[in-house]
Amino acid sequence: MANVDSPFGLRPVRGANGQPYNGGTNPYYIPASYGTALFIGDPVVKTGTANTAAVSVPGAGEFGIGTMPEINKAAAGDNDEITGVIVSFSPDPSALDNEYNPASTERVANVCDDPNVVFEVQADGAIPATSIGLNAVLIFTHSGDTSTGISGVELDTTSDAPAADASNQLIILRAVNRADNDTTATHAKVLVRINAHTESWGLTDLSTIPGTLGI
């Protein structure tokens, strides 16, 4: 059976030790000056600054100056770092139905920024067994879905094949073991960790990962 082509960006599923993902996030700031829409599952990166004014968030209170690093959507490619992945957004009082963040909209994003979290992601191709343990980059072929708020980001296995390359953004840990996932077919699902993480260090192969990964 062919895999369903339904990209969802990066989805946190567990910790490096096999424990289920506990939902932990940190708040990050999206300024109104940022002209790109952001979606749940999008990888993001710190810009090097933070909120320059206090920000009031319904249900979460007020964030003082400098308490939230500013983020943009991470680029896709070699040497492009990632700080984390958007899990949710603060409510937008002017558009409560918005599951995503439209361009040029001030918002607080809740980001999974733990470098030890394992993510599930859809590849744009198949995942041969020889790709397990290699590094890879992301690809932005699809736009995010403005109805569901879900990212269109995928793992690139076609235009930039996985390789033992420390400059790549992710390390492929294993294929997802699920009846609806055929790793020999296009749009296979895999588990990855962020390799080019702004809060951590680079990894070139599984033997360099400290601790246990349950693999």
Interstrand relation of 117-122 and 61-63 (parallel, antiparallel or unpaired): unpaired
- DSSP per position, 140-181: --SPP-TTT-B---EEESSSS--BS-TTSSEEEEEE---TT-
Nearest CA-CA partner of 172 in 139, 208, 140, 127: 127
CB 206 within 8 A of CB 118: no
Which of 92, 112, 132 is at the close of a domain? Answer: 112
Indicate whether 62 pLDDT > 80: yes
Question: Is residue 47 in some structural domain?
Answer: yes
Domain assignment of residue 92, given as a range: 26-112
Which of 77, 95, 112 is at the close of a domain? Answer: 112
pLDDT for res 207: 47
Nearest CA-CA partner of 9 in 70, 88, 68: 88
CA distance 25 to 56: 18
**Residues near 174 by beta carbon (within 8 Å), at least 6 away in sequence:** 132, 190, 191, 215
The verdict on 133 and 96 lying in the same domain is: no
CB 45 within 8 A of CB 72: yes
Indicate whether 201 pLDDT > 80: no
CB 196 within 8 A of CB 79: yes
Task: Report phi then psi at 137, rounded to 5.
Answer: -120, 170
Question: Is residue 69 in some structural domain?
Answer: yes
CB 65 within 8 A of CB 51: yes
pLDDT for res 212: 36
Domain count of the fold of the chain: 2
Question: Is residue 120 in some structural domain?
Answer: yes
pLDDT tens for each residue of 128-161: 999 999 999 999 999 999 999 999 999 999 998 8
User: 3-class DSSP state for residue 206?
Assistant: helix
Q: Tell me the pLDDT band of 209, cut-offs 50, 70 and 90.
A: very low
Question: Is residue 215 in some structural domain?
Answer: no
pLDDT tens for each residue of 74-124: 999 988 999 999 999 998 888 888 899 999 999 999 999 999 999 999 999
Q: Which tokens hold the place of 205? A: 């192969």
Question: Is residue 4 in some structural domain?
Answer: no
The verdict on 86 and 135 lying in the same domain is: no
CA distance 184 to 2: 9
The verdict on 179 and 97 lying in the same domain is: no
- Please report how many Cα atoms fall inside a 13 Å half-sphere around the Cα of residue 167, on the Cβ side: 5
